[in-house]
């Protein structure tokens, strides 16, 4: 059943030490800034974070990393011009990195939500990122075995939710939102507004409410760092 | 459009025009970050090419400026862009399924090294302290129907970039079909032979001196 809460702090309160947390967003688009800030305040540590990147600048995920709260990060593109907090922790040996090709990252998240036990893909075959993975020739192509990425929680952003938990996104801010909401045991979504059942056209719903556990309305969400 | 002369090595813009001319009308195309992005400047409405950006959009338009900037509308390089008529949005798994499922006609990528068998190295220099950051490069290289590489023929230090066998960590195996460089266009035949399709401002002998294996002539 959907839980509509009053504030971001209440939304992230169930996140415990040692949790695996998926965080949506690609660059500024779709970053759940207020939920990440609430997680920073909430204090859970020893986290495994799944995100496309490893934090930018000094706020949000970068701040969570700089505070030493992230034990491991699973992402496709950690190194960026302003990923200095991750870079420092990585070179100090204080954070574990699992680098994953972006399509494998997305498909592994999707697989978790869809109950797929594993899949073979040509992406990454013959590269250092396939080391130690099972290889098979299928359909005339060399392919590697990839496992789903599950999570205890997901923090994502959409534009509108109805009180049935159905979600609508905006432009490229959709990115990882739908698949992370489906993959996590407990999905937490920040939206700009919550409307009553029946107010969203069923034909335009992107994430059906079955995947959504907690929704919080943040009136004027901040724009994240690139 | 630049009026191109082919009697000297090409600038990145001129090379982008050569690549654009080879993209079939009506194609679905992904242009990698960096130099390949320039190709979009030479695609015309008559070409009817649809650009894909892996963060979840088909029909990506030009870069947005000033009041057009919308933080919810960016490309894979995290640059604000605009919509085109008929564009669409989708989530990340659908976006990569489009790529991995072989639906994209062509992608254009940069490269550190490409070898005679079409192996591509473009994500990691192999330095032991480098942080591995791959993004969508492996999916693009392996998933598109055709992978074109756009690069200079030699590195800044003069080392060849078209090589016998890649020494840097691979992005994809046997995935590159064509290489566009400032000095020549190469076709990778798949049997280890590489054909020089055309040269810019030099002859095949001069190009051969910069490539450490025997090239075939068109």
In whole angstroms, give the CA distance from residue A207 to residue A212: 8
The pLDDT value given to residue B178: 98
| Whole-number percent of chain A with pLDDT over 90 | 93
Q: Least CB-CB distance to A102: which of B70, B135, B170?
A: B135
State which residues form the domain around A135.
115-149
Kindly state whether residue A226 falls inside one of the protein's structural domains.
Answer: no
Better pLDDT: A80 or A188 = A188
In contact, B161 and B155? CB cutoff 8 Å:
yes
pLDDT on residue B4: 56
The pLDDT, as a whole number, for residue A163 is 97
CB A71 within 8 A of CB A48: yes
Q: How many domains does chain A have?
A: 2
What percent of chain A has a predicted confidence (pLDDT) above 70?
99
Residue among B46, B54, B67, B205 flagged as catalytic: B54
ipTM reported for the complex surpasses 0.85: yes
Q: Which run of H or E residues covers position A110?
A: helix A102-114
Q: Which residue of B has its CA nearest to A54?
A: B133
Best probe of the A interface among B56, B80, B84, B92, by most A CBs < 10 A, is B92
More confident residue, A138 or B34: A138
CA distance readout (Å), B207 to A89, A94, A157, B121, B202? 45, 48, 52, 21, 7
- A113 close contact with B: CB closer than 8 A: no
Residue-level pLDDT at A226: 66
**Structural domain includes residue A193:** yes
Examine the domain organization and report whether A128 and A166 are in the same domain.
no
Segments making up each domain of chain B, as ranges: 12-217
Instruction: Residue A95: give its domain's CATH number.
Output: 3.40.1080.10
* Residues A139 and A159 placed together within one structural domain of the fold: no
**Which residues on chain B place their C-beta less than 8 Å from a C-beta of chain A?**
53-57, 70-75, 78, 89-93, 95-97, 99-100, 119, 124, 129-139, 142-143, 169-173
Q: Could you tell me how far CA A11 lies from the centroid of its own chain?
A: 15
Which region among A60-64, A141-145, A218-222 has the lowest average model confidence (pLDDT)?
A: A218-222
In tens, the pLDDT along B165-177 reads 999 999 999 999 9
Condensed to tens digits (0 to 9), the pLDDT of residues A149-190 reads 999 999 999 999 999 999 999 999 999 999 999 999 999 999
Q: Are residues A135 and A25 in the same domain?
A: no
Percent above pLDDT 90 for chain B: 91
Cβ distance B72 to A125 less than 8 Å, yes or no, reads no
Q: Is A91 in the same domain as A142? A: no
- Confidence category of residue A37, pLDDT binned at 50, 70, 90: very high
Across chain B, what does the average pLDDT equal? 95
Q: Are residues A139 and A208 in the same domain?
A: no
Domain check: are A35 and A137 in the same one?
no
Residue A224 has pLDDT above 80, yes or no: no
Q: Which helix (H) or strand (E) holds A102?
A: helix A102-114
**In this complex, do A26 and B169 lie within 8 Å of one another by their Cβ atoms?**
no
> A97 to chain B: which residues are within 8 Å by CB?
131-132
Write out pLDDT tens, residues A91-130: 999 999 999 999 999 999 999 999 999 999 999 999 999 9
| Contact: B133, A78; criterion CB under 8 Å | yes
**Do A46 and A73 contact (CB within 8 A), yes or no?**
no
pLDDT at B5: 57
Same domain, A93 and A199: yes
Residues of chain B contacting residue A122, judged by C-beta atoms under 8 Å apart: 100, 142-143
pLDDT bucket at A28, cuts 50 / 70 / 90: confident
Q: Is the pLDDT at A56 greater than 60, yes or no? A: yes
The model carries a pTM of 0.96
Q: Residue B54 catalytic? A: yes
In the prediction, which pLDDT does A6 show?
Answer: 96
Q: Is A107 a member of any domain?
A: no
User: At residue B95, does pLDDT exceed 80?
Assistant: yes
Contact A126 B170 (CB under 8 A): yes
| Residue that has been written with the tokens 């990115």 in this structure | A175
Please give the torsion angle defined by the CA atoms of residues B199, B203, B205 and B211, in that order, rounded to the nearest 10 degrees.
Answer: -30
The model's confidence at residue B62, banded by pLDDT at 50, 70 and 90, is very high
pLDDT band for position B3 (50/70/90)? very low
Mean of pLDDT over chain A: 96
The string of pLDDT tens digits covering residues B5-46 is: 567 899 999 999 999 999 999 999 999 988 999 999 999 999
The reply to whether A74 falls in a domain is yes
DSSP chain B: ------SSPPPHHHHHHHHHHHSPTT-EEEEPSSGGGGGGGG--GGG-PEEEETTTEEEEEEEP-GGG--TT-B-TTS-BEEEEEEEEE--HHHHHHHHHTT--SEEEE--SEEETT--EE-S----TTPPP--TTHHHHHHHSSEEEEE--SB-TTS-BSEESS--SPPSBSS-EEEEE-SSEEEEE-SSS-EEEEEESSS-HHHHHTTSSSPPEE-
Residues of A within 8 A of B95 (CB-CB) are 106
| A78 vs B: CB within 8 A | yes
Q: How far apart are the C-alpha atoms of B8 and B132, rounded to whole Å?
A: 37
| Superfamily of chain region B12-217 | Glutaconate Coenzyme A-transferase (3.40.1080.10)
pLDDT at A61 over 60: yes
Please name the residues in contact with B145: beta carbons below 8 A apart, sequence gap of 6 or more: B102, B104, B105, B106
Within 8 A of B91 by CB-CB distance, chain A residues are: 106, 174-179, 206
Q: What distance in Å separates residue A9's CA from the closest CA in chain B? A: 24
Q: Is the pLDDT of residue A59 over 50?
A: yes
Q: Is A9 exposed, middle or buried (0-12, 13-18, 19+ CB in 10 A)?
A: middle
Set of chain B residues whose Cβ sits within 8 Å of the Cβ of A99: 132-134
């Amino acid at each position: 059943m959907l839980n509509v809460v009053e504030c971001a702090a209440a939304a992230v309160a169930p996140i415990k030490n040692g949790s695996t947390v998926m965080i949506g967003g690609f660059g500024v688009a779709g970053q759940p800034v207020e939920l990440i800030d609430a997680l920073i305040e909430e204090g859970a540590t020893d986290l495994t974070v799944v995100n496309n990147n490893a934090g930018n600048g000094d706020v949000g995920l970068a701040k969570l990393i700089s505070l030493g709260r992230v034990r491991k990060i699973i992402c496709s593109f950690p190194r960026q011009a302003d990923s200095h907090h991750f870079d420092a922790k990585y070179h100090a040996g204080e954070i574990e990195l699992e680098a994953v090709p972006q399509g494998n990252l997305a498909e592994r998240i999707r697989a978790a939500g869809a109950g797929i036990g594993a899949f073979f893909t040509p992406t990454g075959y013959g590269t250092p990122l396939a080391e130690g993975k099972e290889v098979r020739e299928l359909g005339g192509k060399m392919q590697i075995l990839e496992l789903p990425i599950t999570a205890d929680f997901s923090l994502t952003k959409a534009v509108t939710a109805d009180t049935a938990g159905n979600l609508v996104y905006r432009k490229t801010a959709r990115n990882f939102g739908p698949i992370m909401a489906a993959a996590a045991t407990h999905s937490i979504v920040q939206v700009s507004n919550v409307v009553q059942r029946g107010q969203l056209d069923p034909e335009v719903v992107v994430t059906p409410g079955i995947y959504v556990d907690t929704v919080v309305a943040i009136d004027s969400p901040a724009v994240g760092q690139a | 459009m630049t009026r191109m002369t082919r009697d000297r090595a090409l600038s990145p813009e001129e090379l982008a025009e050569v690549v654009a001319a080879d993209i079939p009308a009506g194609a679905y195309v992904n242009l990698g970050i960096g130099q390949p992005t320039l190709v979009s400047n030479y695609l015309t409405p008559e070409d009817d090419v649809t650009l894909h950006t892996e963060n979840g959009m088909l029909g990506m338009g030009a870069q947005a400026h000033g009041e057009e900037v919308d933080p919810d509308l960016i490309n894979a390089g995290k640059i604000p862009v605009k919509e085109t008529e008929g564009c669409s949005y989708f989530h990340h798994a659908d976006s990569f399924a489009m790529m991995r499922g072989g639906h994209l006609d062509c992608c254009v990528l940069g490269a550190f090294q490409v070898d005679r068998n079409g192996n591509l190295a473009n994500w990691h220099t192999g330095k032991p302290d480098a942080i591995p950051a791959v993004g969508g490069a492996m999916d693009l290289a392996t998933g598109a129907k055709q992978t074109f590489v756009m690069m200079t023929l030699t590195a800044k230090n003069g080392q060849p970039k078209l090589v016998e066998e890649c020494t840097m960590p691979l992005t994809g195996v046997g995935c590159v079909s064509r290489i566009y460089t400032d000095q020549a266009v190469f076709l990778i035949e798949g049997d280890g032979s590489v054909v020089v399709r055309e040269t810019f401002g030099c002859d095949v002998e001069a190009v051969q001196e910069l490539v450490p294996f025997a090239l075939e002539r068109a």
